[in-house]
Amino acid sequence: MRASCTASIALAIVISITGCAPDLRGDMARAGVFSPRSLEAGNDALVTLGQALFFDPELSGNRNTACASCHLPSLHAGDGRHLSIGQTGARLPRQVVEPFNRSFATSFFWDARLELVDGEIVGPVAFPDGIETLLEAQALLPLLDRAEMRGDPGDVADDGRANELAALDDARPDDIWAAVLARLLAIEGYRELFVTAYPRVALDALSIVHVARAIAAFESRLWELSDTPFDRFLGSVSQEPETEALDETQRKGAELFFGDAGCARCHSGPLLTDGLTHAIGVPQIGPGRDGAGHDEGRFAITGDPTDRFAFRTPSLRNVGVTAPYMHDGAFARLDDAVRHHLDPRASLLAYDPTLLPDDLRDQVHSELNDEIAAQIDPEVVPYRPLSDEEIWQIVWFLEALTSDTERGVGPEAGVPTSVPSGLPVTSSLEPEPFTRF
């Protein structure tokens, strides 16, 4: 018997396996895969505060957009859109990233503009002292973003209130965060929630860090999930590996994923991402980062020409329920997203805009195709051609990365009945039409 069918790397428990490919567990271990544990998200009072903040449009300049406007628990932490929609109602340049298992992520956003470098948090702004995790740091960024939440100078909300957040200088994030906090502390319901969540912190000692920490606690409570067939297969310190947790087709798919299909060159580690950026020839869709259709991905952060059109390898956890796919929602079907990797250049050139909602069909920037194609990382293509049956085996394996909790999530999951500002709570969105496997 081959050593590879021994189970958990951490435990080195040897179990007898039937139907397990010779080297599947060894291949997984080499790809750095393990089951991420569910972390303690903080006490209930902190999570309750975080839930209110996450759902409250009071945090946006025009009091019209909450985190939950784009990250709905019932839509698996996303919005079901090809490209997200900002606070003016216009499309944003990118697809939502669904924040699952973020405490194991080393970089955030499609261009990895927020990342851990030698244990330090590096991002587009200087974060206040006390920010300890990438998830906390991230929660402060939408508050600054004019298109997502803050609005534009001169804006007046529908209810006639001026937008004091939008009037502030972009270059002074601390002022903007202080103004958001001032808004919150003007509301009695928030003062009460903060006092309960942070009993040892005086009201006048609160800072935006306490807001970020509560939001991150709420996100962690909801979305640090490891109840998937794949995790049961892997096992953990508290759970013996169960080979039968993956059916035979899924095990074949996994063998390909970690073997001949070469997926694990980039989709590695506990979240099946290397956290790095690669150019894989995805067609350019939507307004772009410059409003003129250009989104050059990592290049905008590093200025390194080899980073043009490179985007961060996405985590594949819960990928079965988080359609559409890619940084701009180019593909609505999981098998199409996988097939794109087989011959990215051909897929780019043959891209069919009728897969998109009406308003995006004439926003496919095929004039950039040659430039995008020239950047494609040759490592993206499988080590050998895959048959259609093998592609479906891989897709079926990817379905095993979906958490039972997420599969069963109901329309009211995680939604508060009201928020302290009294503003309306978004509890559902109509997902855009797409076909799913």
Interface residues with ligand HEC (CB under 6 A) are 65, 67, 69-71, 84, 86, 92, 94, 96-97, 99, 102, 105, 108-110, 138-139, 142-143, 148-149, 215, 257, 261-263, 265-267, 278, 280, 282, 311, 313-314, 316, 319, 322, 325-327, 334, 337-338, 341, 377, 379-380, 382, 394
- C-alpha–C-alpha distance, residues 78 and 122, integer Å: 25
Q: Which residue's CB is nearer to ligand HEC, number 6 or number 314?
A: 314
**306 SS3 class:** helix
Who contacts 78 (Cβ-Cβ below 8 Å, separation ≥6)?
70, 71, 72, 95, 96, 97, 98, 322
Place of tokens 């939001």: 215
Closest CA to 146 of 81, 87, 95, 97: 87
Question: Hey, how many other C-beta atoms are within 10 angstroms of the C-beta on 196?
Answer: 14
For the CB of residue 22, give the shortest distance to ligand HEC in the complex, in Å.
20
Rounded to whole angstroms, the maximal C-alpha distance in the chain is: 73
Q: Please, which residue, 7 or 368, has the CB nearer to ligand HEC?
A: 368
CB of residue 110 vs ligand HEC: minimum separation in angstroms? 4
CB of 377 to ligand HEC, least distance (A): 5
Instruction: Compute the least distance from the CB of residue 383 to ligand HEC, in Å.
Output: 10
Q: Which is nearer to ligand HEC, 6 or 84 (CB)?
A: 84
Measured from the CB atom, the residue of 240 and 290 that comes closer to ligand HEC is: 290
Cβ 431 to ligand HEC, closest distance in Å? 15
Nearer Cβ to ligand HEC (266/419): 266
| Least distance from ligand HEC to the Cβ atom of residue 18, Å | 26
DSSP H helical ranges for 186-292: 188-197, 208-223, 229-234, 248-258
Per-residue exposure over 34-44, b if at least 16 CB sit within 10 Å of its own CB, e if not: bbbbeeebbee
Contact 61, 117 (CB under 8 A): no
Query: Given the complex with ligand HEC, which of 17 and 230 has the nearer CB atom?
Result: 230
Minimum gap (Å) between residue 320 Cβ and ligand HEC: 9
Please state the closest distance from residue 394 (CB atom) to ligand HEC, in A.
Answer: 5
Spacing of C-alpha 138 from chain mean position: 11
Q: How far is the CB of 99 from ligand HEC (least distance, A)?
A: 4
Q: Is 68 helix (H, G, I), strand (E, B) or coil?
A: helix
Residue 5 or 380 having the CB closest to ligand HEC? 380
What is the three-class DSSP state of 75? helix
Please tell me the distance from the alpha carbon of residue 340 to that of residue 349, in angstroms, as a whole number.
11
Cβ proximity to ligand HEC, 8 vs 315, nearer residue:
315
Whether the CB-CB separation of 327 and 295 falls below 8 Å is answered with yes
Burial environment of residue 87 by CB neighbours within 10 A (0 to 12, 13 to 18, 19 or more): buried
Give whichever of 225 and 261 is closer to ligand HEC, judged by the CB atom: 261
